[in-house]
């Protein structure tokens, strides 16, 4: 029991430190560069890609952060942007579904590639799968919402 | 230091020389230094706020994860999932890293994968399932924070991850 508590304390501190060291710099960098032309160009380019799974330009930035750095960090930006802009439940649902299927594209994939997994399958195939699942679930959710309203 | 208030939108002076209310760009532009300081302050504040919100849900989820691990839930789940592994072309033992991944995280899963002797294709198939579904409690807590149902998304990641792995296994057999 004592060692479980010790694991919990050290593990929690480790988790907190990692989240802190990533979340705070991401938020600062976002704040500093969100208004710049270069950042907007990157987000617009990404928005043109994720438009195909039903995401709008406002959802592009949180999705990009999650895709690159991880679900927790993307989730953090989603929470921030829900607070700031009205993202809308539909957009949050699409983002959550997409990021559930694929996030931290470099870090997570590399762990398994180092073990011998195929780059094509763990990266390209997974992205395509994520897009298909997102489209399918959004269609189902749309039907459910429509039926509930009717 | 500046006493312009917390919200950048409300900090815009509504003077006659300024833009009409609701104009998109925040001008008259303050100096670059002042703007940097303001953005920095807002960024740090948003960072700390987000950090706190994530920590509040992630730490309890992490504690629950440890308790489940201690209670032997991972072994029990792995035992239940054993028969399913053949559908993915995997040995029954592969259920252990899969469940380790679901409950803990991908690093722990990779650690327990190394104890198995898997072919390249089996490593890839198992990797797909774990990459889609892992750390379900902690990441579910984050999704909950975003207003979604963490349990439903956990279930989705398990089902969709296994389906992705099964389809990949079939396709790899064809080529």
- The ipTM value here is 0.90
Q: Annotate chain A with DSSP letters as a single string.
A: -HHHHHHHHHHHHHHHHHHHHHHHHHHHHHHHHTTSHHHHHHHHHHHHHHGGGT--HHHHHHHHHHHHH-HHHHHHHHHHHHHHS---HHHHHHHHHHHHHS-SHHHHHHHHHHHT--HIIIIIIHHHHHHHHHHHHHHHHHHHHHHHH-
Q: Which helix (H) or strand (E) holds B84?
A: none
Computed over every residue of chain A, the mean pLDDT equals 92
Residue B7: pLDDT band (50, 70, 90) is very low
Omega before A23 within 30 of 0, i.e. cis = no
Q: Which of residues 44-103 of A touch B (CB under 8 A)?
A: 71-72, 75-80, 82, 89, 92-93, 95-97, 100-102
Residue B123: pLDDT band (50, 70, 90) is very high
Between the alpha carbon of residue B83 and those of residues A77, B88, B94, the distances in Å are 40, 10, 10
Residue B174 has pLDDT above 50, yes or no: yes
- CA nearest A28 in B: which residue? B43
Q: Which of residues 9-28 of B touch A (CB under 8 A)?
A: none
B54 interaction partners in chain A (CB closer than 8 Å): 19, 23, 72, 75-76, 79
Residue A105: what pLDDT? 93
User: What single-letter DSSP state applies at residue B19?
Assistant: P
A26 interaction partners in chain B (CB closer than 8 Å): 47
Residue B5: pLDDT band (50, 70, 90) is very low
Contact A24 B44 (CB under 8 A): yes
Residue B27: what pLDDT? 54
Residue B24: what pLDDT? 52
Q: Which residues contact residue A16 at a Cβ distance below 8 angstroms, ignoring those fewer than 6 apart? A: B55, B59
The pLDDT tens digits of the residues spanning B54-111 come to 888 889 989 988 999 899 999 999 999 999 999 999 999 999 999 999 999 999 999 8
Write down the residue that tokens 């650690």 correspond to.
Answer: B111
Select the residue of A4, A77, A80 nearest B66 (Cβ to Cβ): A4
Q: Does A16 touch chain B (CB under 8 A)?
A: yes
- Give the gap in angstroms from C-alpha A58 to the nearest C-alpha of chain B: 15
The pLDDT tens digits of the residues spanning B19-55 come to 444 445 555 567 888 888 998 999 999 899 989 988 8
Residue A74: what pLDDT? 82
Q: Annotate B110-156 with DSSP letters as a single string.
A: HHHHTTS---HHHHHHHHHHHHHS-SHHHHHHHHHHTTS-HHHHHHH
Tell me the backbone φ, ψ of residue B14, rounded to 5 degrees.
Answer: -100, 55
Distance between CA B30 and CA B12 in Å, rounded?
Answer: 10
Residue B152: pLDDT band (50, 70, 90) is very high
Residue B3: pLDDT band (50, 70, 90) is very low
Q: Are A31 and B43 in contact (CB under 8 A)?
A: yes
Q: Would you say the C-alpha torsion A114, A116, A119, A124 has a positive or negative sign?
A: negative
Residue B134: pLDDT band (50, 70, 90) is very high
The pLDDT tens digits of the residues spanning A19-53 come to 898 889 988 988 888 889 999 999 999 999 999 99
Q: Which of residues 90-149 of B touch A (CB under 8 A)?
A: 106-107, 110, 113-114, 120, 123-124, 127-128, 130-132, 138-139, 142-143, 145-148
Strand, helix or coil at B30? coil
Residue B29: what pLDDT? 64
The pLDDT tens digits of the residues spanning A68-105 come to 999 888 888 888 888 888 888 999 999 999 999 999 99
Contact B123 A11 (CB under 8 A): no
Rounded to the nearest 5 degrees, what angle is found at the Cα of A104, between the Cα atoms of A100 and A106? 140
Please state the rounded mean pLDDT for residues B144-166: 96
Residue B11: what pLDDT? 41
Q: Does B156 touch chain A (CB under 8 A)?
A: yes
> Comparing A90-104, A117-131, A134-148, B50-64, which segment has the lowest mean pLDDT?
B50-64
Residue A129: what pLDDT? 98
Residue A73: what pLDDT? 83
Q: Are A73 and A23 in contact (CB under 8 A)?
A: yes
Higher pLDDT: A21 or B167? It is: B167
Residue A150: what pLDDT? 82
């Amino acid at each position: 029991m004592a060692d479980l508590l010790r694991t919990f304390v050290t593990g929690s501190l480790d988790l907190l430190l990692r989240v802190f060291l990533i979340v705070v710099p991401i938020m600062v960098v976002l704040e500093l560069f969100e208004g710049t032309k270069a950042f907007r160009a990157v987000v617009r380019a990404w928005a043109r890609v994720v438009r195909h799974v039903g995401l709008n330009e406002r959802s592009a930035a949180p999705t990009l952060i999650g895709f690159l750095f991880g679900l927790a960090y993307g989730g953090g930006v989603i929470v921030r942007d829900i607070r700031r802009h009205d993202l809308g439940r539909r957009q949050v649902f699409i983002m959550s579904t997409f990021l559930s299927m694929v996030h931290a594209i470099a870090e997570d994939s590399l762990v398994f590639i180092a073990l011998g997994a195929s780059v094509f399958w763990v990266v390209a195939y997974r992205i395509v799968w994520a897009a298909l699942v997102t489209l399918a679930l959004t269609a189902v959710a749309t039907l459910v919402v429509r039926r509930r309203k009717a | 230091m500046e006493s312009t208030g917390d919200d950048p939108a409300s900090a815009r002076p509504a003077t006659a020389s300024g833009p009409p209310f609701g104009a998109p760009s925040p001008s008259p532009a303050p100096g670059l230094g002042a703007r940097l300081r303001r953005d920095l302050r807002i960024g740090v504040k948003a960072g700390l706020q987000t950090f706190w919100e994530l920590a509040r849900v992630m730490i309890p989820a992490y504690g629950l994860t440890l308790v489940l691990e201690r209670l032997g839930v991972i072994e029990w789940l792995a035992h239940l999932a054993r028969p399913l592994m053949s559908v993915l072309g995997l040995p029954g033992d592969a259920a252990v890293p899969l469940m380790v991944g679901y409950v803990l995280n991908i690093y722990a899963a990779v650690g327990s994968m190394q104890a198995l002797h898997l072919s390249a294709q089996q490593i890839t198939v198992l990797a797909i399932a774990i990459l889609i579904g892992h750390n379900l409690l902690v990441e579910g807590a984050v999704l909950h924070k975003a207003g979604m149902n963490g349990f439903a998304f956990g279930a989705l990641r398990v089902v969709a991850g296994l389906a992705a792995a099964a389809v990949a296994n079939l396709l790899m057999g064809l080529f």
